[in-house]
Amino acid sequence: MQGIPAPLRIAIIVCIVIDVVFVVFMVVLRKRGVYVKPHTMFGPALVFDSQDDDGVPIRLLNVNGKYQSVSYVQDSLKYRLVCVYHRYFAQIVDIAGLQGGREGRALVIGGGGYSFPKWLVSECPNLRTTVVEIDPKITQIARDHFFLNDLIRDYKTESTGRLDLVTDDGWGYLQHSDQRFDLIVNDAFGGRKPLGPLKTDEGARAVRDHLTEKGVYLANVIAPLQGRGREVLDESLAACRDAFEHVYLIPEAPESPELTGDNVLVASRYALKIQRQYVVK
């Protein structure tokens, strides 16, 4: 480095040291079963293994400090649902007659770790599912670490057409689509307003216009039931009340209304066999 001014030499050495430390840190994390993707559309992604309350191995996806997805890792469980709100989604799909029943098309907005799309493909053999995920890096993480490639192989989705992966903005895709769906699932994360336009009157009407007569809309509304932060829930419910004949809300933690939870919003043109306590309209 002769001829290079001393301050610049120091800066170069510091940068090299930082790079070496970063590489060593990444290697250590990988050896401990932690995978890091420094750059995704919504910030750094972290994949790591843990256990649920019963000691069953699980794998989690954290993006920019927020948990976005969780999956079982055992081969016999990897397509099963871990999250409570996803299990509520599944119950509604069954009530709507789409689990092992009539043929149909499903649209899932937001892939993440692809937990719910994996369940749809594995448990609803007569359903064709389109998943719209805006960030291709997240989809690649799901392929590599959340068994999406296993699903594609096990259920031969590329030859059967039962799973279509689309890289796009969910709202934009819905606006430009000429298809109608029997099920639309809004499970998008990202930013402070994950539902985006889909929580507005225009968004609710767009969802309704892309549903069949017996179609069902499911949304994960992340908000408390009371207090600060409830606005997104109020706006989503108001928009769906105006657009749909029947609206339901299944809260994650009704006993703790001030805690932020994954609340399941359900909307449809026809009445579903859902307990009366969850009826909004």
Confidence of residue 258 (pLDDT cuts 50, 70, 90): very high
pLDDT of 281 over the 80 cut: yes
Quote the pLDDT of residue 33: 56
pLDDT of 120 over the 50 cut: yes
Q: Where are the alpha helices (DSSP H) in the chain?
A: 6-31, 84-95, 115-123, 136-145, 148-154, 157-160, 170-176, 201-209, 231-243
Quote the pLDDT of residue 263: 95
pLDDT of 195 over the 70 cut: no
- Interval 202-227 mean pLDDT: 94
Token code pair at residue 209? 């216009």
Top-level class of domain 84-278: alpha beta
Confidence of residue 27 (pLDDT cuts 50, 70, 90): very low
- Interval 42-55 mean pLDDT: 91
Residues 168-180 pLDDT 10s: 999 889 989 999 9
Quote the pLDDT of residue 129: 98
Confidence of residue 111 (pLDDT cuts 50, 70, 90): very high
Question: Which residue intervals of the chain bear CATH 3.40.50.150?
Answer: 84-278
Say how far apart CA 141 and CA 273 lie, in whole Å: 37
The amino acid at 76: S
